[in-house]
Amino acid sequence: ATVVYTDHEGSTTTVEASEGDSVMETAVRNGVSGIVGECGGSLSCATCHVFLTEGDDRLPEMSEMEDEMLYGSAVDREDNSRLSCQLKLCGDMDVHVTTPETQV
Ligand code: FES
């Protein structure tokens, strides 16, 4: 899977992701800034907030828990907000996310 990360200033980083990793894990492993992922993916920090610019039907749907956590993110949520630790990647997915200005 390929993930394109665009930061709030418009700079873009493209990363080849490993099967089964999340968009958050892929960012942390590859030193992509703008995603913190403080809780390691257990839906308790909301520091992995992203705006899903271009998705894939195979990405997991938003759970109730994720929905609730998004109200506590540092930058206000938008219609396309997701917590990137919940965006598990597989196969030939192409995903594009934009990161918020701050996660804290
Ligand atoms: Fe903490 Fe996603 S990494 S909620």
Q: What is this model's ipTM?
A: 0.99
Cα(92) to centroid of ligand 1, in Å?
24
**Atom of ligand 1 at shortest distance to CA of 85?**
2
Question: Pairing between strand 94-98 and 49-54?
Answer: antiparallel
Q: Hey, which of 36, 47, 81 would you mutate to test ligand 1's pocket, going by the most ligand atoms within 8 Å of its Cβ?
A: 47
Report all structural domains of the chain as residue ranges with CATH numbers, in order of start. 2-98 (3.10.20.30)
Report whether residue 48 contacts ligand 1, using a CB cutoff of 6 Å: yes
pTM of the model: 0.96
Output the pLDDT for position 78. Answer: 98
**CA distance to 1, 9, 29, 94, per residue, from 22 (Å):** 10, 23, 11, 13
Output the pLDDT for position 72. Answer: 96
Residue 34 backbone class (left: φ over 0; alpha: ψ -120 to 50; beta: rest): left
